[in-house]
Amino acid sequence: MFDYKFNRTTLVYLLPIALLIISLFVGRYQTPLSAVVDESISTFSSFFFGTPASISTQHTVLFNVRLPRILAALLVGAALSISGASFQGIFRNPLVSPYILGVGSGAGFGACLAILLWNNYLIIQLMAFAFGLLAMFIAISMGKVSKGTGTLVFVLSGIIVSSIFTALTSLAKYVADPYDQLPAIVFWLMGSLATVRYGDLLYILLPIFIGTLVLFLFRWRINILSLGDEEAKALGMDVEKMRLVIIVCATLVTSAAVSVSGVIGWVGLVVPHISRMIVGPNYSRLLPMSMVIGASFMLVVDDLSRTIVATEIPLGILTSLVGAPVFAYLIKKGRMGWN
């Protein structure tokens, strides 16, 4: 079980790479295979040998529009899924999503506030990120103030924080300019990767990398936290400290992802379940699988969002429209991977 076997499960790990290549071809602007190959070669040679870079439309479409967006979809999907899986483990609840501690509502309000006050793309991202983290810190400190530091207290604190930020977001919508700001707010809240550039990826890469790395290193320990506080303590775990580290890292990853994509539901909740059906509940295998499935799922959904109709369909809508039936089908098949 721990030894390496080349089987279908291993093949799943190649899925994101295959999808990345396929996604380069997908879009309203036609790019035949030969063009993609030509442009790839010229880009590589300009990158490595300093030959003049291509300035053709094809080049712009492939490498300045599609590729950053593809990379963002992979990154955001992986981030939301690893954090969802981690939260499910430490809260011992398979119905938990990355937004359990109010991170989504916090980030949403941060973005709304930025749209109202500055309407600068960079500040919107920054505010979304900062308010996501702020929501978590408020939830954690509320959870710590009350004496019983069980997971239930954290969940309740998350609900409280969430409802406050949701109310504030509604207030922001209410006072927003209905012709200019309100559509921007609504569009941001539904989630989209349409405007992603390489620069955005650079900002979120570091927090996502750090958070993911720590979660990845602690992945086996999440198994033990999922047994409950008393048993984890009996197995020599400093439960409070470990739980805090995982909450902070999962939130860091979620906030960073949400800051470029907007609040995208379903992915962080459903992907861990699909992954559990493939590799079982052991977090040693579940976390890497969740990242791979999450990245793939998000990329497919984003491909759909930019091809189905002439205008963009917001991602948050599609993740639910695609994710919910898939999930329903899997539940019917009855291999849930939890009790």
Partner 1 sequence: MELMLEVKSLAFSYGNRPIFENVSFSLKKGEIMCILGPNGAGKSTLIKCIAGILKPDNGSVFIQGKDTVSLGVRGIARNIGYVPQQNEVVFPFTVLDFVVMGRAPHLSMFASPGAEDIKLAKESLAMVGISDLAERPVAKLSGGQSQMVLIARALVQKPALLLLDEPTSHLDFGNQILVLETVQKLASLGMSIVMNTHMPDHAFLLGDRAAALSGGRLVAVGKVETVVTSKMMSSVYGVNVAIREIEDMKRKVCLPLRR
| Nearest by Cα to 265 from 323, 328, 185, 217 | 323
155 contacts partner 1 (rule: CB under 8 A): no
> Counting Cβ atoms within 10 Å, is residue 194 exposed (0-12), middle (13-18) or buried (19+)?
middle
Judged by beta carbon, residue 21 or residue 335, the one nearer partner 1 is: 335
Instruction: Candidates 43, 46, 60, 93: give the one binding partner 1 (CB under 8 A).
Output: 93
Instruction: Candidates 46, 65, 244, 281: give the one binding partner 1 (CB under 8 A).
Output: 281
Instruction: Candidates 53, 177, 220, 308: give the one binding partner 1 (CB under 8 A).
Output: 220
Judged by beta carbon, residue 67 or residue 245, the one nearer partner 1 is: 245
- Per CB under 8 A, the segment of 75-83, 158-166, 197-205, 218-226 that binds partner 1 is 218-226
Judged by beta carbon, residue 86 or residue 181, the one nearer partner 1 is: 86
Amino acid at 329: Y
66 within 8 A of 23, measured Cβ to Cβ: yes
228 contacts partner 1 (rule: CB under 8 A): yes
**Strand ranges, E, within 198-301:** none
Show the tokens assigned to 92. Answer: 């011992």
Report 62-91 residues binding partner 1 (CB under 8 A).
89
237 contacts partner 1 (rule: CB under 8 A): yes
234 contacts partner 1 (rule: CB under 8 A): yes
**H or E segment to which residue 217 belongs:** helix 198-217
146 contacts partner 1 (rule: CB under 8 A): no
Distance separating alpha carbons of residues 153 and 131, to the nearest angstrom: 21
Instruction: Candidates 45, 149, 284, 320: give the one binding partner 1 (CB under 8 A).
Output: 284
**In the complex, what is the shortest distance from the CB of residue 168 to partner 1, in angstroms, rounded to a whole number?**
33
Q: 256-286: string of b/e by CB count within 10 Å (b at 16+)? A: bbbbbbbbbbbbbbbbbbbbbbbbebebebb
339 contacts partner 1 (rule: CB under 8 A): yes
277 within 8 A of 336, measured Cβ to Cβ: yes
User: What's the half-sphere exposure (Cβ side, CA atoms, 13 Å) at 137?
Assistant: 9
265 contacts partner 1 (rule: CB under 8 A): no
Interface positions with partner 1 (CB under 8 A): 1-2, 89, 92-94, 217-221, 223-224, 226-228, 230-231, 233-238, 276, 280-282, 284, 337-339
